[in-house]
Structure 1
Amino acid sequence: MTEIWRASLLESLHLGHAVICDDTGQIVRSWGDPDAVIYPRSSCKMVQALPLVTSGAADKFGLTSEQLALACASHNGAAIHTDRVRAWLDQLGLSDDDFRCGPQEPDDIPARNALIRADESPCPVHNNCSGKHAGFLTLAAHMGAGPEYVEVDHPVQQASLTAIEETTQLDSPGYGIDGCSAPNFATTVHGLARAMAFFASAQDRSDRQSNAAASLTAAMMAHPALVAGEGRACTELMRAMNGRAAIKTGAEAVYIAIVPERRMGIAVKIVDGGTRAAECTIAAILVGLGLLDADHPATRMFMNAPILNRRGMECGVIRPAATLA
């Protein structure tokens, strides 16, 4: 899927699977094995957020599009993220102690340096999944369910499982525990692409689940900086596409795209877990679909991206394999 070149030598390569799916759930194009079973990891956060909206919890608590974007986010822990998550907790009458995601050092350098200067430790609110967990807490409060919302038999996680199985149109074969302690339900690459196509075509339907999918997609595209952060592929590439698609990364090199104008969903999994390859691959597929300009500065950060050494000299390139061209 992605190649690493240094001078004239193919130094490294990344293998993977990818599927482009249409609104009927059929494969438009695929690479590798569409039936490969994977953990979607954080790429499926918008699916996990569906019950937050379909249950009426989002309306009950008056959630904004910014909060819906944060529910789908893997953020950098910058002030624009943590300030909003803290305000969300205040809105619920809860505190950082109610989170079950665990603390995480912010990826945002100013936020990380501020903690160091203050001699403070990271908190769960800095966790890249704190927006998703704020959504879980909101749904749990609406349901009147218990505080251990990450347990697999908790109503919040059972609602998430139902949403994943309904949108992928597959029974999940099992789950693993994600980095944020929530269960992550396995599916196939095709199933994940099918779920994204459900989101991409939601505007064509008027049922509750479709309306929820459309609102979550719109929130992601409206607030790309909240979905990830400055310099991140999700944020930079969504900005470059000007609202034409929503994209989302997941740990271990999973990536998805939701393309409303084409009613298409895309799922990518790089076998070795290399993030650089997932970013290059999703960018190449989006370029191939005419959604992303290959020469846009944001695209060049991830596709046909120069490899620089410690002195800033260009000594290689990260580029898509010919099969993606």
Structure 2
Amino acid sequence: MTRPVPMAELWRGALLESVHMGHAVVCDSSGQVVRSWGDPGLVMYPRSSSKMIQALPLLSSGAAAKYGLGTEQMALACASHNGAAIHTHRVNDWLEQLGLDDHDLRCGPQDPDDRPEHERLIRAFESPCQVHNNCSGKHAGFLTLGRHLEAGAEYHEIDHPVQQAALAAFEEVTGEASAGYGIDGCSAPNFATSLTGLARAMAWFASARDRSDRQSQAAAQLTEAMMKHPELVAGEGRACTELMRAMNGRAAIKTGAEAVFVAILPEQRLGVALKIVDGATRASECAIAAILVGLGVLDPADPATRKRLDAPILNRRGIDCGRIRATAEMRF
């Protein structure tokens, strides 16, 4: 097996203090690997980077059209959001439209990463709800599909029609039989694939406009919704939101737990997938920024890029102590 390669490094003063190793793959619309780092055959969990795939049956089944879902709901179905008011209000409205509420979700409560909402809950002596969970949009999508299929309430279970539809879509777009599944942080199954399979899926999304089948039409709609509403996909200060804004419709990107990142590049019909071995988010954000710069869709001088690709390390007094930067291996 090919070893991981250095992808991001932290310099303090004149010394290299830390190195993050990882793997990455770029695939074209035919599913072929056009560039790779480390082991393209690495079997891994995509975690939340696969939410666009999990959302495919929501659209291709006709459920989204039946319930009148717009681009905001589509973006939220792909989101790992901060639990800010712009997220929770929209998910609550979505649930109300279905005649459901917070108790019907199966993702579990989560303290919101959004500071204003976190502080509001404290002042109001309220506990976080499931709608604050970063995956509540995905789960609202699951509930919508479950309602459309007239299936049971436990939509998160592996043998439920919702999850079987998600598995079928996952294997179709990765071009592989899944190696199995693990239970994600939000209680839904997360299907394993190779890193190449994940990049192949993203390239399939990127070239979706070239095809007319329902699954491809769904992929194109989800990609466009993400690029139209980057603030709903993550939130203020987050890499997905800031980098998509910086690319201005040239790519849709999505993070996943344990330092996974993917990118969909419709103009070039390319898909990207990467995984940092030690699970460090700072490294996955740095590496994906380097790849996007190398592929010509992200300006290296944009503040959102420099915040990740050549990020200053500041101490508690605001003194610049060093840099997190991409390694030479990641520079095109």
Q: What TM-score, normalized by structure 2, do the two folds share?
A: 0.98
Instruction: Determine the structure 1 residue equivalent to 2:106.
Output: 100
What displacement does 1:247 show? 0.2
Counterpart of 1:161 in structure 2 is 167
Letter in 2 for 1:220: M
1:150 and 2:156 correspond:
yes
Identity of aligned residues (%): 73
Q: After superposition, where does 1:300-319 map in structure 2 within 5 Å?
A: 300-319=306-325
In the alignment, structure 1 segments of 5+ residues that lack a partner are: none
SS of match in other structure, 1:173: coil
TM superposition shift of 1:230: 0.3
TM superposition shift of 1:308: 0.3
Offset, 1:301:
1.2
Aligned length: 325
Equivalence for 2:140: 134
Equivalent positions of 1:1-325 (< 5 A) are: 1-325=7-331
Amino acid at match of 1:20: V
**Cα displacement (A) at 1:190:** 0.3
Distance 1:64 1:119 in 2: 34
CA-based RMSD of the aligned residues comes to 0.4
SS in 2 for 1:4: strand
Give the SS at the match of 2:90. helix
State the 1:22 CA deviation: 0.1
Show the counterpart of 2:3: none
3-state SS of 1:12 partner: strand
Query: AA paired with 1:294?
Result: P
SS at match of 1:257: strand
How far residue 300 of structure 1 moved from its aligned partner, in angstroms, is 1.1
Query: 1: distance between equivalents of 2:202 and 2:295?
Result: 16
Which sits farther off after the overlay, 51-60 or 294-303? 294-303
Name the CA distance, whole Å, in 1 between partners of 2:100 and 2:314: 45
Counterparts of 2:16 and 2:196 in 1: how far apart (Å)? 30
Aligned-partner Cα distance in 2 for 1:111–1:302: 25
The residue identity in structure 2 corresponding to 1:3 is E
Encode CA deviations 1:85-113: one digit per residue, 9 max, x unaligned.
00000000001000000000000000000
SS at match of 1:312: coil
Q: CA deviation at 1:129?
A: 0.1
SS in 1 for 2:329: helix
> TM-score scaled to structure 1, two decimals?
1.00
* Residue type at the aligned position of 2:265: V
Q: What CA distance in whole angstroms lies between the structure 2 residues aligned with 1:2 and 1:163?
A: 33
SS in 2 for 1:262: coil
Distance in 1 between residues matched to 2:326 and 2:261, nearest whole Å: 15
* Letter matched to residue 172 of structure 1: S
Structure 1 outlier segments of 4+, above 4 Å: none
Letter paired with 2:83: G
Q: Distance in 2 between matches of 1:252 and 1:88?
A: 29
- Provide the rounded CA distance (Å) in 1 between the counterparts of 2:279 and 2:172: 27
- CA shift for structure 1 position 69: 0.1
**Other structure's SS at 1:261 match:** coil
Whole-angstrom distance in 2 between the partners of 1:22 and 1:173? 23
* Secondary structure at 1:249 match in 2: strand
Structure 2 regions of 5+ residues with no counterpart?
Answer: 1-6
Residue-by-residue CA offset, 1:187-243 (whole Å, 9 max, x unaligned): 010000000000000011111110000000000000000000000000000000000
